[in-house]
Amino acid sequence: MMQAIRQLLESVQEGTIDVDTALLTLKQQPFKDLGYAHVDLHRTVRQGVPEVIYGEGKTAEQIHGIVQSMMDNHMERLLITRLDVDKANVLQETLPITYYEVAHLGVVGTMPKQRTSSYIAIVTGGTSDMVVAEECAITSECYGNDVHRIYDVGVAGIHRILHYMDELMGAKVIVVIAGMEGALASVVGGLVDVPVIAVPTSVGYGTAFGGVTALLSMLNSCASGVSVVNIDNGFGAAYLANMINHIGEI
């Protein structure tokens, strides 16, 4: 869509389209009403990336309709989060979707070849946090970021995270993903001089309360520079990390 708008503005500059016609074109269809969804067609203009489709609770047919309307409006790389394998199999019959099963994530179109010069480090407390971590990692890569994965380095074996200090200190932003008591975010936050985005996960036994314990622990972190997103929200962490990592990039 950004390319289509650029071509429109260049046509105005060249005098092949008058200003009023161009203005009318920009005003048309800020969203597409599909009956079951109002697809935001101008989000790329406002925020730089297209609307992300939340797949959970939608049928494969609804997702197909939303994706098709976005593709019809020059949006070539789209994300579908919380997409289960059955819906993905249906969608892959008619749409160019790559499905990442661990992350429950679908990507329409191809991943960008060019990556940022700086990188996002994604750190997990345990292997059980990988579903959220991979949602975060693949989302970040889809937005053109270089990503370093550092998995299963939780506080139960604190020496493991210390082994990766050089890699952590070299990152522009770090995403720490942990369940149980969520202590890893505070530990990492106290060791580095870059922003840390903490993601509590729903991993843990009874009093983990589905991630609430980790969430409260991260919110009460005594380390400076730690921000927190919602439970299991790997996408939200990736989006914020992407914005930070792109600061200063050409």
Q: How confident is the model at residue 235 (pLDDT cuts 50, 70, 90)?
A: very high
**Alpha-carbon 5 to chain mean position:** 24
115 HSE (CA, 13 A, CB side): 14
Task: Assess whether pLDDT exceeds 70 at residue 250.
Answer: no
Greater confidence, 93 or 28? Answer: 93
Q: Phi/psi of residue 79, each to 5°? A: -110, 135
Q: Which residues partner with 124 through β-bridges?
A: 177
Q: How confident is the model at residue 113 (pLDDT cuts 50, 70, 90)?
A: confident
Q: What is the pTM of this model?
A: 0.84
Domains within the chain, CATH numbers bracketed: 2-108 (no CATH), 119-245 (3.40.50.1970)
